[in-house]
Amino acid sequence: MDNHATTAVDPRVVSAMLPYFNEKFGNAASRNHSFGWAAEEAVESARGQIARLINAAPKEIIFTSGATESNNLAIKGVAEMYRERGNHIITQVTEHKAVLDTCKRLEKYGYQVTYLPVGKDGRIDLDHLRRAITAKTVLIAIMYANNEIGVIQPIEEIGKIAKEKGVLFHTDAVQAVGKVPVDVIKDNVDLLALTGHKIYGPKGCGALYVRRRNPRVQLTSIIDGGGHERGMRSGTLNVPGIVGFGKAAELSQSEMAQETERLRGLRDHLKEGILKGLDEVYVNGSMTYRLPNNLNVSFAYVDGESLLMGINDVAVSSGSACTSAKMEPSYVLKALGVNEDLAHSSIRFGLGRFNTPEEVDYVIQRVVEVVSRLRELSPLYDTAKERVHLSKTN
Ligand SMILES: *Cc1c(COP(=O)(O)O)cnc(C)c1O
């Protein structure tokens, strides 16, 4: 249940990829023989499949090694290309590290970055955004949906503001594509990052959408070489990976409606099961603006590490991040104002295509059992219960 970290490659994707390892192993850039043509044809077909998933044109899709690279290319590429126009970038505090660390790097080179705060619900305030824009602003980078709390940002409104002000808009849509309908035209998105391995495709294969008209977005490349991908990203294309990514995109699109319904059902069942079995459980982030497959909850009065150890037969993520020295609470939960203890005792569930209702029932039972047992040992929980009891008696 850790499908925000990665997903299993769908068997139909594996089948689509297999011929491209040995039978059709050509280099898509080889123009002189049929091996090359077959590879190129497969790449172009995948480009179309990925473009359709986000309502883009095939030529607007640039293949990369994954969303980390796509985010780097979008932000560094715009920053350098539009340096004459301005040096200011706006992003927000709960972005993925691929965006935050890229912005930090640019700060070292003299760029100015505004990190917008988020509310308790995990969303930015559009008035903050409007006020942050200056004559020097060249880019707004705000993620579509968060990878820890699943909270969806007001993308259409951000796109509208960016367009009004003539500022480019980049969004990291890794967690959103395939889960909710993403439309770069409707939302006025100029650049968008996505990746294969979060949508049941292979790892190490991603893409960046780069708008070609109205406006035509230009980028300085960060990897130079043979001039592949319209000069924006050199390097021999990962043909089997791209074929798999394309197939995964096609499946995501054709199955999105049903899959979303099914995952939302499982997620809601998981949430209700946990809340029915336990008190003092807090959901982190908006439930209204949220991915259908995400649940992020804090369990008061339990130690986070003991909790994870207790359910170590279930794959989930915790609200703690291991840094070299100690456990740090998640910066995302901190940004929502979740206190440190609660952040440490929180769990992120990410449901996926291959999870079953039986698994969800099992997880509910395990979580309720382990949290109850840990609380029996907790003097703090005892005291809290006592207090509630006394106030009721009074
Ligand atoms: C996983 C993830 C990334 C990184 O993608 P890779 O393809 O693994 O480099 C970036 N942003 C978000 C929101 C993610 O969830």
Q: What pLDDT score does 106 carry?
A: 98
- Ligand 1 atom nearest the C-alpha of 196 is 7
Count Cα atoms within 13 angstroms, Cβ side, for 98: 22
Place of tokens 């003991």: 306
In terms of Cβ atoms closer than 10 Å to its own Cβ (0-12, 13-18, 19+), residue 188 is buried
Query: Domains in the chain, start-ordered, CATH in brackets?
Result: 11-252 (3.40.640.10), 257-392 (3.90.1150.10)
As a whole number of angstroms, the distance between CA 382 and CA 159 comes to: 50
Task: Read off φ and ψ for residue 2, nearest 5 degrees.
Answer: -120, 45
Q: Is 322 a catalytic residue?
A: yes
Cα end-to-end distance, the chain, whole Å: 44
* CA 98–ligand 1 middle distance (angstroms): 7
Peptide bond into 154 cis (omega under 30): no
Q: What pLDDT score does 259 carry?
A: 98
As a whole number of angstroms, the distance between CA 117 and CA 119 comes to: 7
* CA 142–ligand 1 middle distance (angstroms): 14
Give the closest residue (by CA) to ligand 1 atom 9.
68
Q: From start to end of 128-274, where are the E strands?
A: 137-141, 168-172, 191-195, 206-210
- Could you tell me if 313 and 359 are in contact, meaning their C-beta atoms sit under 8 angstroms apart? no
Spot the catalytic one: 127, 135, 322, 391.
322
Cβ atoms within 10 A of the Cβ of 234, count? 14
User: Ligand 1 pocket, 171 CB below 6 A?
Assistant: no
Count, residues in the chain? 394
Mean pLDDT (10-residue bins), the chain, 394 residues: 97 98 96 96 98 98 98 98 98 98 98 98 98 98 98 98 98 98 98 98 98 97 93 96 98 98 98 98 98 97 90 91 74 96 95 98 98 91 80 66
Q: What pLDDT score does 48 carry?
A: 98
Q: Which two tokens stand for residue 241?
A: 């990976």
User: Ligand 1 pocket, 317 CB below 6 A?
Assistant: no
Three-state DSSP at 20 gives helix
Three-state DSSP at 290 gives strand
- Ligand 1 atom nearest the C-alpha of 66 is 7
Q: Could you tell me which residues come within 8 angstroms of residue 169 by beta carbon, excluding any fewer than 6 positions away?
A: 139, 140, 142, 158, 159, 162, 163, 188, 189, 190, 191
* CA 74–ligand 1 middle distance (angstroms): 14
Four-CA torsion 241, 246, 247, 253, nearest 10 degrees: 140
Place of tokens 């979740």: 338
As a whole number of angstroms, the distance between CA 321 and CA 317 comes to: 9
Paired with 327 in beta bridges are 322
Q: What pLDDT score does 388 carry?
A: 75
As a whole number of angstroms, the distance between CA 281 and CA 301 comes to: 10
- Ligand 1 atom nearest the C-alpha of 5 is 1
Pocket test for ligand 1, best of 72, 96, 194, 332 (most atoms within 8 A of CB): 96
* CA 277–ligand 1 middle distance (angstroms): 33
Pocket test for ligand 1, best of 2, 4, 68, 170 (most atoms within 8 A of CB): 68
Q: Could you tell me which residues come within 8 angstroms of residue 339 by beta carbon, excluding any fewer than 6 positions away?
A: none
- Could you tell me if 48 and 217 are in contact, meaning their C-beta atoms sit under 8 angstroms apart? no
User: Ligand 1 pocket, 294 CB below 6 A?
Assistant: no
Q: Which two tokens stand for residue 366?
A: 């395990």
User: Ligand 1 pocket, 68 CB below 6 A?
Assistant: yes
- Ligand 1 atom nearest the C-alpha of 143 is 13
User: Ligand 1 pocket, 206 CB below 6 A?
Assistant: yes
Pocket test for ligand 1, best of 2, 64, 103, 147 (most atoms within 8 A of CB): 147
**Beta-strand pair 206-210/168-172:** unpaired
User: Ligand 1 pocket, 174 CB below 6 A?
Assistant: yes
Q: What pLDDT score does 389 carry?
A: 73
Give the closest residue (by CA) to ligand 1 atom 3.
67
